[in-house]
Amino acid sequence: MIFMILGRSKEFILKLPIWTQIITYIAILVYALSFFGISTGVLSLSWIGLLQKRQLYEIITYVTLHLSMLHIVFNFVSLLPAMSQFEKKQGTLACILVTVIPYTLFPGIMHLIVYHFFLRKDYVSIAGLSGWAFAFISASCVHSPQRLISFFNLFSIPAYCFPIIYLIMTTILVPKASFIGHASGAVMGYCTPFMLGSIPLKSWAQNVDPIFQSWVKNYHSFDQLSHAQLPIAEPLSTFSSFPGKGTRLGG
């Protein structure tokens, strides 16, 4: 049974677009390292770590760290469908740009600001990919804002409201969920069309895509038609009923 699950999981991951696939493997590797006595907590993001200890890598690495099997599984269930759909439609380059810069930096910076200047808790850390999950889900909802989404088959809501309802329910139902990280991710998702529209993505892709598309499997090139319909060309049919824990370390 276990080998069958592992086999199907491997098959699923290998079919993902390359950047989504890379992020998946990195998160799994980081989680696996903890079983060998390697301290991975240093990858989390906190004011003390980043600014007092000058561990600058934290502003990027915190998204790769998860605290439990449930944490990483729930985040994968929420993130991978939305992220892979985005990468297929907008291209690998666009997906890399939004994840490395706004989807990672903005939630991290907001966490630092709120916990240092308002809550006075410099030791509280943030970790996990749930901020990305909210970002990609929000980005998908911007595409068809009036589209109705069934919420647990109980009632339907406009797509643009879904991330907000999702955020509220996660905050209430999930212990230690990072409201700041989730909300910041959702904001960046809503802003995705404006961010990609403000950069010369087409010209960048024309230079980069031919280099990688020929030898990198599952690399997706920029599609001008899809880009004109930002943030994705086709709406997601379903969303996960659980967005992931977004657990904060030390809180």
Q: Catalogue the active-site residues.
A: 130, 182
The residue written with tokens 């992220």 in the block is 83
CA distances, 124 to each of 39, 114, 175, 184, 250 (Å): 17, 11, 15, 17, 5
CB 232 within 8 A of CB 17: no
Distance from the Cα of residue 196 to its chain's centroid: 17
As a whole number of angstroms, the distance between CA 244 and CA 238 comes to 16
| Rounded-to-integer distance, Cα 20 and Cα 164, Å | 24
Beta bridge partners of residue 9, listed in sequence order = none
Of 61, 66, 62, which Cα lies nearest the Cα of 125? 62
